[in-house]
Amino acid sequence: MATTPEAKVKAKVKAVLNKYGAYHFSPATGGYGKSGVPDIIACFEGKFLAIECKAGTNKTTALQEANLAHINRQGGFAFVINETNIEVVEETLQHLTSSHKEKKSA
Protein backbone atom coordinates (compact mmCIF):
# COMPACT_ATOMS: atom_id res chain seq x y z
CA MET A 1 0.00 0.00 0.00
CA ALA A 2 1.48 3.32 -1.09
CA THR A 3 1.72 6.14 1.40
CA THR A 4 0.36 9.43 0.12
CA PRO A 5 2.36 12.64 0.54
CA GLU A 6 -0.32 13.94 2.93
CA ALA A 7 -0.12 10.75 5.00
CA LYS A 8 3.63 11.36 5.37
CA VAL A 9 2.94 14.88 6.70
CA LYS A 10 0.36 13.49 9.14
CA ALA A 11 2.84 10.85 10.34
CA LYS A 12 5.49 13.52 11.00
CA VAL A 13 3.01 15.67 12.92
CA LYS A 14 1.90 12.70 15.01
CA ALA A 15 5.53 11.82 15.75
CA VAL A 16 6.12 15.31 17.17
CA LEU A 17 2.90 15.15 19.21
CA ASN A 18 3.94 11.75 20.57
CA LYS A 19 7.42 13.06 21.43
CA TYR A 20 5.77 15.65 23.71
CA GLY A 21 3.16 13.27 25.10
CA ALA A 22 0.24 15.22 23.65
CA TYR A 23 -3.18 13.61 23.47
CA HIS A 24 -4.27 13.44 19.82
CA PHE A 25 -6.51 11.68 17.36
CA SER A 26 -7.61 11.89 13.75
CA PRO A 27 -11.37 12.34 13.49
CA ALA A 28 -13.19 10.09 11.04
CA THR A 29 -15.56 12.21 9.01
CA GLY A 30 -16.51 9.84 6.14
CA GLY A 31 -20.19 10.77 6.07
CA TYR A 32 -20.68 10.54 9.83
CA GLY A 33 -18.76 13.51 11.17
CA LYS A 34 -18.67 17.23 10.57
CA SER A 35 -17.13 18.39 7.29
CA GLY A 36 -14.09 20.66 7.34
CA VAL A 37 -12.77 19.34 10.65
CA PRO A 38 -8.95 19.47 10.81
CA ASP A 39 -7.00 16.26 10.24
CA ILE A 40 -5.53 16.05 13.74
CA ILE A 41 -7.12 17.18 17.00
CA ALA A 42 -4.83 17.43 20.02
CA CYS A 43 -4.68 18.63 23.59
CA PHE A 44 -1.42 19.67 25.22
CA GLU A 45 -0.78 21.54 28.46
CA GLY A 46 -4.51 22.27 28.66
CA LYS A 47 -4.65 23.83 25.20
CA PHE A 48 -6.72 22.72 22.21
CA LEU A 49 -4.80 22.22 18.98
CA ALA A 50 -6.21 21.55 15.53
CA ILE A 51 -3.89 20.73 12.67
CA GLU A 52 -4.82 20.57 9.00
CA CYS A 53 -2.21 18.63 7.03
CA LYS A 54 -1.53 19.36 3.38
CA ALA A 55 1.04 18.10 0.92
CA GLY A 56 2.80 19.98 -1.83
CA THR A 57 0.76 22.87 -3.18
CA ASN A 58 -2.59 21.59 -1.90
CA LYS A 59 -4.66 24.36 -0.32
CA THR A 60 -7.31 24.37 2.37
CA THR A 61 -10.95 24.64 1.39
CA ALA A 62 -13.11 27.58 2.47
CA LEU A 63 -14.83 25.31 5.02
CA GLN A 64 -11.48 24.16 6.46
CA GLU A 65 -10.34 27.80 6.73
CA ALA A 66 -13.58 28.72 8.49
CA ASN A 67 -13.13 25.91 11.02
CA LEU A 68 -9.50 26.85 11.69
CA ALA A 69 -10.47 30.50 12.17
CA HIS A 70 -13.29 29.53 14.55
CA ILE A 71 -10.90 27.47 16.68
CA ASN A 72 -8.39 30.33 16.81
CA ARG A 73 -11.13 32.81 17.81
CA GLN A 74 -12.05 30.52 20.70
CA GLY A 75 -8.50 30.51 22.04
CA GLY A 76 -7.30 27.27 20.49
CA PHE A 77 -4.29 26.83 18.28
CA ALA A 78 -5.24 25.93 14.71
CA PHE A 79 -2.88 25.87 11.78
CA VAL A 80 -2.01 24.26 8.46
CA ILE A 81 1.10 22.11 8.26
CA ASN A 82 2.89 20.84 5.17
CA GLU A 83 6.36 19.52 4.36
CA THR A 84 7.90 22.99 4.55
CA ASN A 85 6.66 24.12 7.98
CA ILE A 86 6.52 20.99 10.14
CA GLU A 87 8.70 22.77 12.72
CA VAL A 88 5.69 24.94 13.63
CA VAL A 89 4.21 22.00 15.52
CA GLU A 90 7.29 21.55 17.71
CA GLU A 91 7.70 25.32 18.19
CA THR A 92 4.08 25.56 19.35
CA LEU A 93 4.50 22.68 21.81
CA GLN A 94 7.73 24.18 23.15
CA HIS A 95 5.95 27.52 23.63
CA LEU A 96 3.07 25.86 25.45
CA THR A 97 5.49 23.94 27.67
CA SER A 98 7.33 27.16 28.58
CA SER A 99 4.07 29.02 29.24
CA HIS A 100 2.80 26.19 31.44
CA LYS A 101 6.01 26.13 33.51
CA GLU A 102 5.89 29.93 33.97
CA LYS A 103 2.31 29.75 35.27
CA LYS A 104 3.20 26.97 37.72
CA SER A 105 6.12 28.94 39.17
CA ALA A 106 4.15 32.18 39.51
> Is the confidence at residue 100, as pLDDT, over 90?
no
**Residue 2 has what pLDDT?**
58
In angstroms, the CA 59 to CA 6 distance is: 12
In angstroms, the CA 49 to CA 78 distance is: 6
In angstroms, the CA 1 to CA 74 distance is: 39
Domains along the sequence of the chain with CATH: 5-105 (3.40.1350.10)
Backbone φ and ψ for 104, nearest 5 degrees, come out as -65, -35
> Is the confidence at residue 1, as pLDDT, over 60?
no
Residue-wise pLDDT for 7-51, tens only, equals: 999 999 999 999 999 999 999 877 777 788 999 999 999 999 999
**Residue 72 has what pLDDT?**
97
Q: Which residues pair with 52 in a beta bridge?
A: 80
The verdict on pTM exceeding 0.75 is: yes
Q: Which amino acid is at 93?
A: L
In angstroms, the CA 94 to CA 90 distance is: 6
Residue-wise pLDDT for 44-99, tens only, equals: 999 999 999 999 999 999 999 999 999 999 999 999 999 999 999 999 999 999 87
**Residue 3 has what pLDDT?**
86
